[in-house]
Amino acid sequence: MEGGRRADPAESKLEELAAATAERLPRMLDDVTRLLGHDWPDYADFMVTERDEVLVSANMFLHRLMKMAKWDISELPGVSDQPPEHLGEQPLFEEIGRAQWQQGRDLTSLLSAYQIGARVAWHHVAEAALEVGVPSDVFASLAEAVFIFVDQLSSASARGYVLEQSEAAAARERLRDELGNMLLSDRSDSGAIRAAAARVDWPVPREAAVVLVEPDNPVGAALLARLDHSCLHVRRQRMVCAIVPDPVGPQRRERLTTALRGAGAVVGHAVPLENLPASMRVAEVAAQLRRTQVLIEDPVFVDEHLDSIIVHRDARLLDAFRAQCLAPLDDLGPVTRQRLCETLASWLRHLGDRRAVAEELHIHPQTVRYRLSQLRELFGESLDDPDNRRRLTLALAWGLPESP
């Protein structure tokens, strides 16, 4: 023996064995088909309908088996650890594993079928080896070669299965990302959205809402990621975003509140899908107001604060409006101005009821009367003008302005 290769007599016996096993090949395949038919009829049907392809693979297996057995495996360390690509069959068996995933089948059933094939193959090879008179050491090498080979092919199929699974998951996530971006784009039409939704099995809801979390908020991002699979996660530059279908459904709002508590999230108002981009823009305004603590709830539901959002969406515009409405107070000191502003705001809220103003501000009614007389001196008859009262209410309803 040289370099692990067996002596010529043993090699001659292997050549006889190769011929004998080739004759047995049709019976071997029949036995495998019969055994598979009990638990995996689909595989058995494949053995019948793709008989020619199976014969080619079986011949390849026997050829490789004899080639491996020509060497003393015990003198070739690492043979059992060699990857299948060294045997040349990796692509084929990786593709089988990939097909198993694509067809929605379990990997275990495929590997079990391989084991059945290995047992049947060894039964026929062993019988033929005994008939031919293969030496005992060669016989042992044959047994080892059969199961090493099957283990390697099983590993190749398992690798193909896992690769296809991960690639399919990544592709599905890309398609979900595309759908989410389409939903937030003003340029998408309903037909394209329905087609994109069908590709990822996303039931098109009647309404949806966006949920926004600040990008520098890892806790919020983690809580957002835990929303159920019906929610689409969208990558945005300025915010971490998810699209929630039918957020006002039965108990949906309560579950959403619980899931997002502590996330510092803003939940946009529910709208038909074609209006989702506009709803997103309103939610972004609400997120800005949460940063400045105009809105402080956790989470903030936009539909509960539309009035505040309307008033505060442009801080410069609000400041200009307040400056115009409250100009008569400009010459007052900051403390006096603050007191008269809160008195005026309370008086407008309570429709001129001085007692209610006194109770709200915890001051004496006489103090209310004094302050109101000051306000009348400053504002004059405009305090009795309905349009001006409406403007003053708008200027003061969402908090008192800072001193100019």
8-168 and 205-312 in the same fold: no
Which residue, chain included where needed, has tokens 């690492």? 78
Whether the pTM exceeds 0.85: the reply is no
**Mean pLDDT within 283-288:** 92
**Mean pLDDT within 367-394:** 91
How far apart CA 148 and CA 80 sit, in angstroms, is 6
Q: Report the mean per-residue pLDDT for the chain.
A: 84
- If one looks up domain 8-168 in CATH, what number appears? 1.10.490
Fold entry, domain 205-312 = Alpha-Beta Plaits (3.30.70)
- Residue 311 pLDDT level (bands cut at 50, 70, 90): confident
Give the tens place of pLDDT for each residue, 103-156. 888 888 888 888 888 888 889 888 988 888 888 887 888 888 888 888 888 888
pLDDT at 306 over 80: yes
pLDDT at 4 over 80: no
Ranges 29-43, 188-202, 352-366, 387-401: which has the least confidence: 387-401
DSSP 3-state of 379: helix
H or E segment at 210?
A: strand 208-213
**Mean pLDDT within 2-16:** 63
CA 354: distance to chain centroid? 58
Question: What does the pLDDT read at residue 150?
Answer: 84
- More confident: 71 or 316: 316
Length of the chain: 404
- More confident: 377 or 315: 377
How far apart CA 262 and CA 288 sit, in angstroms, is 17
DSSP 3-state of 391: helix
Question: What does the pLDDT read at residue 281?
Answer: 92
Domain extents in the chain:
8-168, 205-312, 317-396
DSSP 3-state of 233: strand
pLDDT at 84 over 60: no
User: Which candidate, 257, 251, 250, 239, places its Cα nearest to that of 301?
Assistant: 257
How far apart CA 103 and CA 109 sit, in angstroms, is 13
C-beta separation of 146 from 153 below 8 A: no
CA 177: distance to chain centroid? 9
